[in-house]
Each structure stands twice: as structure tokens, then as C-alpha cells.
A = this chain, B = another copy of it.
Amino acid sequence: MNNVDLAVQFFLQIAVILLTCRALSFVAGKIGQPPVVAEMVAGILLGPSFFGLFWPELQQLVFPWDKTQQLRDTQSYLFPAAQIGLALYMFIIGTEFRLDIVRERLRTSLAVSAAGVIVPFVMGAGLGWFFFHYTDLFPARTSQLEGMLFLGASMCITAFPVLARIIQFKRLTGTPIGTVAIGAGAIDDAAAWCILAVVLAISEGNGALAYRNIFGGIVYTALVLGVVRPLLQRFQRWLLHVDGSLADGGLIFCLAIMSLGAWFTDLIGLHAVFGAFVMGTAMPRGAVTTGLMNKIQPLSVALLLPLFFTYSGLNTRMSLLDSAFLWGMCGLVMFVAIFGKCFACWAAARASGMPNREALGIGILMNARGLMELMIINIGLQRGIISEGLFAALVIMAVVTTLMTSPIFDRLIVSPSLDRLPAGHARTT
């Protein structure tokens, strides 16, 4: 297919994705799941595990596959739009991020994020050691160290964007529970990407990769919070109309620096979502953040973000889990993932003085793996660090931990007891 044919196809894909998401969101709403879960499931259903399994010719018509390159054509169109959507969304989440609450709850945030990295990492590495010695879930070329580090990293992941959407959906934005979870989720994901960088550096014998990643990320965050943030605060009237609302030029400028941030973090090997998120936290609170929220959120959530979630789902092949042994290993992965993350974060929040119910809520939220997990394990599969069977087990773990978050949270945590912010703070569903 050439560019023009692909462009034709693209609008059909958008229509199919949006209508599927809409229908599934309707069902999800009835059973207490947020739209983001509907979008993840929509992606998996539209991919090779359902649509492609039962109506292969029709699926081929809508999402043309290329035998050798696997969806390359479709991906080349969905991917950029999905990337923009994800970056915009994380930018908006950044503008709602309450640095003041993180500061107030610094001990809890640090404890939760440390526990959320260390415990799953150690348990994951242990599982990696076990898999390395007693199964063939790692390809022969993967060393013991690589296997342990990779599985450790993949257990640390928190579904940062999914978490953000669930918190927004439950109207927890700006509450201590929402803020601690988002903050700790961001730190844990950044840590997991840094560990991944170390794995890739070892696997390619190139140590500079890991340095670039870790130091680049620290320098970027320091620069944005230490330099960009005060500058924007000081010159914020340049971004506003005379009536005090966000000007079109101001919006364009903010989008441009968000893109620069996304580009930079992508370039150093952290994911673009961190650059966009951190840049969002640097936006001057008030007219600017309200304007950005109102102007960016509706279209990015309704149109672009579903493309991201569906894009990821399209790459998932459930059919790879084809034996009882693999399902058993899958159960083991699941246990380590849930115990390591949920339990450790709950214990850390509790130990740092949070009430039990909020601590449990944080543990449950942090447990969702979502699509950041899918990204990391896709890289592992592409680079040949994990086998297709282990990949499928990790996919199941990512989907199950995400699906269980919302219903368990609703059952255990009764919302009105949560310590909410006064109304007036921008919140949307």
C-alpha cells in the first residue's frame, strides 16, 4: 500500500476503533470499569486474538497486515497519532499534578515509590533466576543477569497513563490518594525504564546508553522544574489574552515546549510520556492550566488516546499461551506481580502513617500494569531477551492487573470517606 491508500484506510480504522471503544465503554460502564479498560480490551479484540481469529479477511481489510513486518503499514499510521495523544494526555495529567501535596506527603510518596520499585524488582529478579535455571522461557542467548534484570524491571512498571485515567475517572485528581499514587507511579515507571536501559546496555555491550538515560532524566527534570517552571511563572501573562484567559499563541507555545520535552526524553531512552508529564507539572497553575485542560483534554481523550490503547492491543497475540505449563508459569508471574506491587505499596503507605483504607487504595492503584508493561515487554521480545511464551504470560498479567483495579478499588474503598479537595479544582471524567 502506498501513502495515499494508507491514508484512506486510516479514517476507516479510526471509525472502527471509536465505534468499538464506544460500544465497549457502554458495557464497561454497566460493570463499573472505566473507559480506559474498554479501550485496552477494544484493542485486543480488534487484534489477532479475536477479530483476526474469527474474521481474518475482514480484519485484513480494516487493519492490513504485512506477512513479514507484522502490521507495519497499519502501525505507521496509528503510531504517530497514538504517540501525540499519549503525550498530550500525560501533559494534561502533569498540569493537574499537585507538587504541594507531594511535598506535604513527601514521606508517604517516597516510601510508596521505593517499596513499589524495590520489592517487585527483587521478587521479579528472583523469578527470573528461577525461570533461567528451571524453564526455557528465556532464549538461549539471554544471560542470567539480563533475564533477572529484565523480569525485575517488568515487575516494577505501574500503568502510569492508565493510573492517571482511572484516578481522573474516579474523580480522585488532586486528592492525597490520587496524588501519591500518580507521583509514586511516575517514579516507579521512570525507575523501570532506567533498569531497562541498563538491561539493553548490557545486552548491547554499550554502557553509555544507561548513563545517558539516567543522568539525562535527572538533568531534564531539574532543568524543567528549576528553570522552565519559574520562567513560565514569571512571564505567564505573555501566554494570556488581555481578559486573562489562555491565548491561542500561548496554547501553541505550551504545546511546542511539551513536544520538545517529549522529544528529549524519547531521545535519551526514557519514554516521551515522562517529558510531557514533567513539562505539564511546570505549567503555571491557574489560568494557564485551566485553559490547557479545557482546550487539550476533550479531543485528546475522545479521539487520540483510544488510538494509543488500541494500537497497543493490536500487537497482542493471546494464542501464544498454548500449554498448561505456560498457564502455570503465567499464574506464578501474576502472583509475584500482584504480591510484590500491591502488598508492598500498601505496607509502605501504612508504615509512613497513612490511614489503612487510603493505603490499601494506593496499593490497588499501583498494581495496575496497563500498557506501559506492554511497551517494555514488546521491547524485550523485539530484542530477543524473552521468549514469545513469557511475553504472552506477561501480557495476561498486564491485562488482569489492569482489569482488577477498578472493581476491587470500588468494593474496598468507599469514596465519600476520602479526604477530598474543595470543589472548583478542575475535574473531568
List the interface of chain A (C-beta within 8 A of B). 3, 6-12, 14-15, 18-19, 21-22, 25-26, 35, 72, 75-81, 83-84, 87-88, 248-249, 251-253, 255-257, 259-260, 262-263, 266-267, 272, 275, 294-296, 298-303, 306, 429
Contacts and interface: CB of A to CB of B under 8 A. Distances in A.
Given A252-B302, A296-B299, A429-B248, A259 B3 contact: no
A303 B306 CA distance: 18
Contact of A263 (B11, B78, B296): B11
A275 to B, nearest CB: 8
| Copy count, this protein chain | 2
Contacts of A8: 263, 266-267, 272
A256 B7 contact: no
Given A8-B267, A76-B3, A266-B7, A15 B296 contact: no
Contacts of A267: 8
A284 B130 CA distance: 62
Given A22-B249, A76-B77, 5 more contacts: A7-B83, A8-B266, A11-B263, A14-B255, A294-B298
Given A8-B266, A266-B8, A299-B296, A14 B84 contact: yes
A260 B299 contact: no
B255 A303 contact: yes
B18 A256 contact: yes
Contacts of A263: 8-12, 15
A249 B83 contact: no
A87 B84 CA distance: 17
A7 B79 contact: yes
Nearest to A22: B252
A83 B84 CA distance: 14
A9 B12 CA distance: 26
Given A8-B267, A14-B256, A259-B18, A298 B296 contact: yes
A78 B76 CA distance: 11
Contact of A260 (B11, B272, B295): B11
Contacts of A35: 248
Contacts of A80: 6-7, 10, 77-78, 80-81
Contacts of A7: 79-80, 83, 266, 272
A429 B25 CA distance: 34
A248 B168 CA distance: 14
A294 B25 CA distance: 23
A90 to B, nearest CB: 12
A247 B88 CA distance: 21
B75 A3 contact: yes
Contacts of A18: 252-253, 255-256, 259
A337 to B, nearest CB: 26
